[in-house]
Structure 1
Amino acid sequence: MAGFSTAVTGLKASTTMLDVAGNNIANSSTVGFKASRTEFGDIYSTAVVGAGSSNTPGSGVTVTDIAQDFSAGTIEFTNNNLDLAINGSGFFKLDDGQGGVTYTRSGAFELDKEGNIVSKTGKFLQGYGLDADGNRLPVENMKVTEKESPPKATENIDLSFNIDSREDAGGLLPVYNKDEPGSFTYTTTDRTFDSLGNEHTIKYNFAEQRPVRQVYDYALDPAAGYPTISGVTLVAGDFDAATGALIDNSPTTTGYDDLALADDRIDLSTLNYDAATGRLSFELKSWASDLGDLVVRDGALAEATQINTDVDDMYRDANETRTYNISINGDKSTELGVDGSIEIAGVSIPISSTDNAEEIVTAIKNREAQILDRNPEVESIAIDTSGTVPTFTIRFKADEGNVDDSANNFIPKISTDAAIPAASGDLVIGDQTINNASGQVTDQAIGFDSVVQGDNSYQGNYRMYAYLNNEELLDIGKLQDPGEGLESEPGPILISFNPSNGLLQSINGEDFPAGGQVPSITISGADPANELTEISLDLAGTTQFASASIVKASQQDGYTKGDLIGVTFAGTGEMIASYSNGENQSLGVVALATFENQDGLQPSGDTEWIATLDSGAAIVNPPGTGLNGTLRSAALEASNVDLSEELVKLIEGQRNYQANSKTLETMNTITQAILQI
């Protein structure tokens, strides 16, 4: 009877089913384990001829396959950064060091004594190495090769800040001193490192240009010939023979133009040379900083002697001033003899017939408050009655710069009710002379006797100094004084803001548009361990707004020596080493393998599989590419075994086993009955 064999196949199949379910249950806590499923097929014996399925009872059951379920298990987080889980498809590639390659979903890795990342069975995790530029190298053993991070000298600094535009530069001390906060507007520091990893600081001081013009006065030997300034030799034709003033665009020489190119800090309209005495004087434009050791020589190339070494003598205010003389009959005591008025900046000031020149300027001074209230451009009204001829002076605010001479509001006017009596003589006010022959005067415009033009180009200009450890003045690109060379030297450079929008517009003489590329500043000498080190300072984003002076961003790329404190992995597979100096370094990229048919993989134990002809060759890529999933550090993939389902399979297996046993028992009973016939 074939029934005995049929029942035996059922018993064997049920036993296999129980074995698979038991194995799944046993590995329900195995990291990376994939549950198996028993698949069955029926057995039919067929003859070559004369047989068909309709009259064949069948020969039992066989186990056609024990298939594995590669669905992902639950990701559980751990405290070990070397625990890895794949969020998606893919397998870790392992190498036993002897040519054997297996694949696993179990990411419980650790470091061996040589720094290799290995599985619990000692197999090496495979990944891509990285070269110095971060390019991927061929797949190899993943290894923590850098146990320490060598020091790196600072090479780049990004610094942006805001300087409060409301700060009054007029209140700064006239002489800059790095140790005197009252001589500069703003200061900030950056931490840097030298080539040996020693920490230093670079302190930056920003001294806003005060509303002054600097005055320089030199003594030269007149017999030696005309002076050389900023490397430009001037000749007699450059100067007005009567006044000594430098001639603009002289037809006989190009000295003016050459000097304008050689040193644009000098206001050439103020340059004057007395050929008889050898006295040379000029002013700087108000935006310019100190000339320092400007090279001025006489015709024999002997250096000139600077005369005005006293600070008070070296500066004059950048304000515009207009001075007017007043006299009646040539003095200050003669009475005018007629009523009238003087209008100054829209304010009418009455004068009486008994007023003399001194009383007229006093009356003007008495109306100063009204003039200032009506004209915010005016800073003060000053009078001087000490001399024979009294004067009054209108002083404009420095921010106004050069005030238009034709501005009607600031042109004084005089009116009289009648002609000035002959006994009073002439009234001289400003550049106007009025006598009895003039008759009654109505709104007669008065011109000034003398004017000092204003210059507000100082606005938004700062001298920037840099110091190593607040001691050594650094070279940040200040060019040597004209005539001395083309190299840079320690000292300040000029940075400028646009006064209308507060944006940085110029660095060390290099202009750039709003939103344009900001020129970098090269700092030399900030690495005591290596004099060749240069630091590039980027001030992009720096502003001068009416808000508190603050650092908006500060970052530098140097660091000291560091020791390895840990390794972690990014989602894209990068193995990142962390060091005690705060630096991170990418040491490699984990390689993940996928297969055209992962069901064709052959289990090899320890939750590992081997590639077969059915699975196809492994396709290796970094995480996050192709069909690979992403990587999670400090996490493990749990077994995907469903215990409830497996317990149900145990019941099914037991039922099947009992039923097949009953078949065998029944066949035995029938056989016994036949034997008893």
Structure 2
Amino acid sequence: MSFNIALSGINASQKDLDTTANNISNVKTTGFKQSRAEFADVYATSIFNAGNTKVGDGVLTSQVAQQFSQGTLDFTDNSLDMAISGNGFFATTDDLGSRDMTYTRSGAFKLNDDKFIVDNQGNYLQGYQVDRNSGATTSTSLATTQPIRIPDVAGAPQSTNNVFTAFNVDARVATIDGTATPFDPNDPSSYHSSTSATVYDSLGESHVLSTYYVKRAPNSWDIYATFDGQQIDLGTTPGGTPSTAPSTDNYDGLNVSFLGNGEPDLAAGEQTFSPGTLDLSGSGPSGPYLDNGATAQTIQFNFQDQTGTTTPTQFASDYEVTSLDQDGTTVGRLTNVDIGKDGLIAATYSNGDVQYLGQVALVRFANEQGLTQIGGTKWRQSLDSGEALAGEANSGTFGSIEASALENSNVNLTKELVDLISAQRNFQANSRSLEVNNTLNQTILQIR
């Protein structure tokens, strides 16, 4: 029996050595969680044995328990690297349509050739669907998660339908007689100030829309426009007032008037001047306004910002554009990816568009040590771990997500080296016990 006891001690020491060696070998493995060999004594008896004289039957390995303590964070230059600070696991699948989830703390993610976020083994990171404009999450159920994709273009271009502007014109400047000096965009003496905005056609090609401001009388201004350097009518909508004088090429503008306090002169109930319109379906002095095959369009020129809170003024100060914006976009190329502490992914594109593409899903378990280890710093759900519980990062019991960071292994190398020495001593002691038992047996067998 003493042979078996010594042998069980050798086996236990070997298991301890194996566990410690595995921890040491993974000291630089991202997201790795160290294990600890846990032992129990073996004691077998029956009701007919004298229990007070029973020695015991050795030792066995009761469990190799994983330790899910937090590892230190290592910050990187990759915006797709993610680390969880606190509780939770990333959820991944090995196929786009698969619901067979594996869970990991290793956040070394990248884009594959289809622009999906994947890990080093090509598994797809799962996330919640969100509203592209607001980022609001539609569901936090694990059953509704999808692989997260980051397209490198921001959809189809959108033609400009509205231009929004607010400005201050200088009340101190002298008037210009439209008969003696008709407006000419090539003659700076025929206008007081000008500004330009970039607008887009249906193909996403950019064009320059310029507007010019001419004081015709006290508190009265004519506004003219050019499109890519060609003069164009700035037509009036209902309620609008045509310019007091045409341009050199007979193109019309519109007229706006101000009160003595510098505010717009408006009819009762109006908030700002009536908008102007620019019809791009025709031709200017040098040919068609849109000669690239783009769909004909009409742009409305609005005298306010997009919120309607800022309008034109005429004060005794220099000309100033206080707001200038438009609602068209060209094709956007991906320029930046930001991931918040809540896992919300925002992509910025070269056309200024910002889209929310998804929210990284986090999963936790009632018993993390019950997870089944499958290698590649991944685990699967088991009966011992309990059901996977999904949620949002940085809320409740879930940890926050640190972008451009990786969680290092939680192995304490100094402690592991000490444990290695201890396991080696235990192995040697049990080997010595086996050797002594062998010597005793040899002595007994040699008795004559």
Structure 1 length-normalised TM: 0.54
CA distance in 1, matches of 2:222, 2:153: 45
Q: Which moved more, 1:31-40 or 1:120-129?
A: 120-129
Alignment partner, residue 197 of structure 2: 190
Verify the 8 A CA contact 2:44 2:56 in the aligned structure 1. Answer: yes
- In the alignment, residue 585 of structure 1 is paired with which amino acid? Q
Once the two structures are TM-superposed, the CA of residue 147 in structure 1 deviates from its matched residue by 4.6
1:204-223 mapped onto 2 (5 Å cutoff): 204-208=211-215, 210-211=217-218
Alignment partner, residue 422 of structure 1: none
Counterpart among 457, 468, 476 of residue 227 in structure 2: 468
Alignment partner, residue 385 of structure 1: none
- In the alignment, residue 147 of structure 2 is paired with which amino acid? N
Alignment partner, residue 126 of structure 1: 126
Counterpart among 615, 631, 635 of residue 405 in structure 2: 635
Distance 1:559 1:673, change over 3 A: same
CA distance in 2, matches of 1:51, 1:621: 56
Once the two structures are TM-superposed, the CA of residue 609 in structure 1 deviates from its matched residue by 0.3
SS in 1 for 2:122: coil
- In the alignment, residue 468 of structure 1 is paired with which amino acid? F
Counterpart among 608, 615, 624 of residue 385 in structure 2: 615
Matched, 1:492 2:254: yes
1:103-252 mapped onto 2 (5 Å cutoff): 103-130=103-130, 136=138, 138-144=144-150, 147=153, 149-165=155-171, 167-168=172-173, 170-173=174-177, 175=179, 177-179=183-185, 180-208=187-215, 210-211=217-218
- In the alignment, residue 20 of structure 2 is paired with which amino acid? A
Distance 1:523 1:599, change over 3 A: farther
- In the alignment, residue 653 of structure 1 is paired with which amino acid? A
Distance 1:596 1:174, change over 3 A: same
CA distance in 2, matches of 1:89, 1:670: 55
Verify the 8 A CA contact 2:240 2:274 in the aligned structure 1. Answer: no
Distance 1:187 1:566, change over 3 A: closer
Q: Which moved more, 1:79-88 or 1:189-198?
A: 79-88
Distance 1:495 1:17, change over 3 A: farther
1:155-554 mapped onto 2 (5 Å cutoff): 155-165=161-171, 167-168=172-173, 170-173=174-177, 175=179, 177-179=183-185, 180-208=187-215, 210-211=217-218, 458=219, 462-470=221-229, 471-475=231-235, 477=237, 479=239, 491-494=253-256, 496=258, 499=261, 504-506=263-265, 509=267, 521=275, 523-525=277-279, 528=290, 529-532=295-298, 534=300, 536=302, 538-539=304-305, 540-541=309-310, 543-554=313-324
Distance 1:65 1:558, change over 3 A: same
CA distance in 1, matches of 2:257, 2:70: 61
Once the two structures are TM-superposed, the CA of residue 86 in structure 1 deviates from its matched residue by 2.5
CA distance in 2, matches of 1:628, 1:156: 44
Once the two structures are TM-superposed, the CA of residue 24 in structure 1 deviates from its matched residue by 0.9
CA distance in 1, matches of 2:414, 2:65: 19
Matched, 1:90 2:97: no
Verify the 8 A CA contact 1:563 1:580 in the aligned structure 2. Answer: yes
Counterpart among 62, 70, 73 of residue 75 in structure 1: 73
- Unaligned regions of 5+ residues in structure 2, if any? 243-250, 282-289
- In the alignment, residue 629 of structure 1 is paired with which amino acid? G
Alignment partner, residue 285 of structure 1: none
Distance 1:639 1:67, change over 3 A: same
- In the alignment, residue 89 of structure 1 is paired with which amino acid? N
Give CA deviations for 1:591-639 in whole Å, capped at 9, x if unaligned.
Answer: 2212222222111110000011222222223433443333344332222
Give CA deviations for 1:298-328 in whole Å, capped at 9, x if unaligned.
Answer: xxxxxxxxxxxxxxxxxxxxxxxxxxxxxxx
Alignment partner, residue 27 of structure 1: 26
Once the two structures are TM-superposed, the CA of residue 74 in structure 1 deviates from its matched residue by 2.6
Give CA deviations for 1:369-405 in whole Å, capped at 9, x if unaligned.
Answer: xxxxxxxxxxxxxxxxxxxxxxxxxxxxxxxxxxxxx
Distance 1:495 1:139, change over 3 A: farther
CA distance in 1, matches of 2:200, 2:11: 75
CA distance in 1, matches of 2:148, 2:195: 44
Verify the 8 A CA contact 2:234 2:276 in the aligned structure 1. Answer: no
Counterpart among 58, 61, 70 of residue 63 in structure 1: 61
Once the two structures are TM-superposed, the CA of residue 464 in structure 1 deviates from its matched residue by 4.0
Verify the 8 A CA contact 2:342 2:401 in the aligned structure 1. Answer: yes
CA distance in 2, matches of 1:184, 1:511: 31
Verify the 8 A CA contact 1:498 1:505 in the aligned structure 2. Answer: no
CA distance in 2, matches of 1:641, 1:164: 71
Distance 1:69 1:155, change over 3 A: farther
Once the two structures are TM-superposed, the CA of residue 578 in structure 1 deviates from its matched residue by 4.5
- In the alignment, residue 253 of structure 2 is paired with which amino acid? G
Verify the 8 A CA contact 2:42 2:57 in the aligned structure 1. Answer: yes
Alignment partner, residue 414 of structure 2: 644
SS in 2 for 1:11: helix
Alignment partner, residue 662 of structure 1: 432
Verify the 8 A CA contact 1:572 1:623 in the aligned structure 2. Answer: yes
Q: Which moved more, 1:19-28 or 1:533-542?
A: 533-542
CA distance in 2, matches of 1:498, 1:159: 22
- In the alignment, residue 64 of structure 1 is paired with which amino acid? S
Once the two structures are TM-superposed, the CA of residue 564 in structure 1 deviates from its matched residue by 4.7
CA distance in 1, matches of 2:299, 2:121: 49
Distance 1:519 1:472, change over 3 A: closer
CA distance in 2, matches of 1:183, 1:131: 50
1:563-602 mapped onto 2 (5 Å cutoff): 563-564=333-334, 569-602=339-372
Once the two structures are TM-superposed, the CA of residue 493 in structure 1 deviates from its matched residue by 4.0
Q: Aligned residue pairs: how many?
A: 411
Q: Which moved more, 1:524-533 or 1:467-476?
A: 524-533
Give CA deviations for 1:318-358 in whole Å, capped at 9, x if unaligned.
Answer: xxxxxxxxxxxxxxxxxxxxxxxxxxxxxxxxxxxxxxxxx
- In the alignment, residue 477 of structure 1 is paired with which amino acid? T
- In the alignment, residue 207 of structure 2 is paired with which amino acid? H
Give CA deviations for 1:474-518 in whole Å, capped at 9, x if unaligned.
Answer: 235363779xxxxxx96314253662xx5x455x64667xxxx76
RMSD of Structure 2 on Structure 1 (CA)? 3.4
- In the alignment, residue 379 of structure 2 is paired with which amino acid? W
- In the alignment, residue 92 of structure 2 is paired with which amino acid? L
Once the two structures are TM-superposed, the CA of residue 209 in structure 1 deviates from its matched residue by 5.5
Give CA deviations for 1:450-472 in whole Å, capped at 9, x if unaligned.
Answer: xxxxxxxx4xx544444434511
Alignment partner, residue 229 of structure 1: none
Verify the 8 A CA contact 2:241 2:254 in the aligned structure 1. Answer: no
Alignment partner, residue 6 of structure 1: 5
Once the two structures are TM-superposed, the CA of residue 647 in structure 1 deviates from its matched residue by 0.8
Verify the 8 A CA contact 2:107 2:406 in the aligned structure 1. Answer: yes
Once the two structures are TM-superposed, the CA of residue 61 in structure 1 deviates from its matched residue by 2.2
CA distance in 2, matches of 1:597, 1:100: 20
Distance 1:510 1:594, change over 3 A: farther
